[in-house]
Structure 1
Amino acid sequence: MTAAAESLASRARALALEAGFSTARIARADAPWAAGAHLRDFVAAGRHGAMGWMEETLERRVHPTAMWPQAKSALVVGLDYGPEHDPLEALQRTREPVISVYAQNRDYHDLMKKRLKALARAFHAETGAGVKVFVDTAPLMEKPLAHRSGLGWQGKHTNLVSREFGSWLFLGVMLTEADLAPDAPETDHCGSCRACLDICPTNAFPAPYQLDARLCISYLTIEHKGPVARHLRPLMGNRIYGCDDCLAVCPWNKFARVSAEMAFQPRESLTGLTLAGLCELDDAGFRALFTASPVKRIGRERFVRNVLYALGNSGAGDLADAAAARLDDESALVRGAAVWALSRLDPGRFEAERAARQGAEGDPDVREEWALSSAPPGP
């Protein structure tokens, strides 16, 4: 690489830090890579589940230049969101809901995009080079680019791991037409460790470095729109939005730090929540509680479904009233989840309700819940 490319790269990294990012590295955007073939295999195997947008945008995702042929370089930025407490500890408090670390305050996309745009404006003003910015809602594979840039490596759980920040980095990318000297790629430091694979409650990793999203609790609580398969519900525990298990258990987190970003600290209104209280949310209450939060995008119906599954997993019979109160919910999805939760919390009351309501339920999925929940549990 030329001295000019080295100088531009140094300036790009400096501008990223000035914009408020925790770290920044550079990769070639126009070089061949294997990530596109891996993505094709993932989609061909159906492991993307109901995320149809992955299939629809596949051709644009397989390589950065498939979306923007003029792209030569990628400035990959990271923003640290390290939690103050170990997320695994919250799983022991089964009467309380667990929301993934990244979703406990404002939607990170907003902050990342604002800073990326400021970075891009500054870089363009100094260089005149064309730029485009991306946070993960666009059809660009940030994690392989981050791996190539040296920001970290994709661990056996397929997520990025950083020697400096552990598992807790939000990623963004600025593609540019400018020639920037690339940083050296990071090497894989997972070694023989398989902690992230072994902790997964649903065995969502068919093999190291492979994920079947259809089994992932993050997918089930966020992307999956209908009733969750009955055999997976008990494995969800009290997780009501996302799952941090494979991230939180990574030994490299010993080098992580608590994020200094106030926007990523747990929102006060989301501390002290109870499963019983969340069951009572109507649509207006749900929207008010999760204003500007990523949780808001799944809607009240899916959210309360998740809460009811967690309620059923709590083992707390005194919470049966909260489940029973949702048996007449306007949403069939919520009613079905309430049936399952009540059957686990108070079988006697469940049987009484089933007898009283026989033939009254109009939705076939909910009727099936009544029938299957009354059957003896399988082996």
Structure 2
Amino acid sequence: MINVGIVGAAGYSGVELIKLLLNHDEVVITKLFGSTTVGSYIEEIHSSLRGMISLQVEQFRKETLEEIDLLFVAMPSGQSMQVVKEAVNANVKVIDIGGDFRLKDAAVYTKYYKHEHTETKLLSRAVYGLSEWNEIAISGAKLIANPGCYPTSILLALLPLLKENFIESNNIGITSYSGTSGAGKSAATNIMFSEVNESVRAYKVGNHQYIPEIEQYLEQFSGVKTNFSFVPHLLPTTRGIYTTIHSTLKKHVTENDVVNTFKHNYSSAPFIRFIGTEIPEMKNVVNTNFCDIGFRIYENGTLVLFSTIDNLVKGAAGQAIQNMNIMFGFQLTEGLLKCSKKQSLQIK
């Protein structure tokens, strides 16, 4: 049994963490931290938690780390660096759900995130938490940089094919769609209901902060440098991500080759549901830690990949708990796949 704390507990990812961790048999939520919500009880801020948990939100102080084995940090980019530093110095394991420790190059971080990185010495120590592709490194890590939501949907779909040299590495076209919760809880006119309802629009085309993350980890895990375009879109839904990727198959590659490489890479991955030439639907993964992946091949050799996840679960809190399970040697599905605990039905 471990004690965990959550910084940014009242945000979307923080609340998702709470709900999932309450179903985890090996975890006790000991501390909740915030800023504008300090002094309030979490169930007063989020009434959906009434009857499930009653904890007061506190101001983060390094003295409180003495009671914690693992600290989840769910803060906007640029705000987690000092908190992570203090936790690491106190020998507390950390999973940072934000983007502050994903990129190894501080100059690239500053270019895309528009902040100076103040804890550059920790960048080399952070382990990227793409659970299905970095399990060995995650198991021994002290600091996990949890992947971004868009990169999770993209990397899980592309990596098996790039690793096997089945697709051309240039001119890959990536189009992704996300619900509005991906923008966090900060009030902004462009994500108001009246602005997004009955509409779809692209945003941050060519300068999205996830571009260098996708590039860095496609190369790290596949060994292949890629050239791609990434166009994110905002959907008039609360949660979910849907990604479509266009690439070109190498001439020798068949449909069976594509199927077999996905099965080979994900046969023991409980949260990857490869559905072959079926086309996945976002509604089937919402509120779960699953990533559904499918594909189609055109006669001209164009391969289209489809990938969908819940941005708050597999794209944030769920993957963070999956990484926690790896770090502490818990069952991989603990807290994330309730049906794994169900008894067989007794039919009378």
TM-score scaled by length of structure 1: 0.23
Structure with more of its chain in helix, by fraction: 1
Compare CA radii of gyration and give the structure with the larger one. Answer: 1
Structure with more of its chain in strand, by fraction: 2
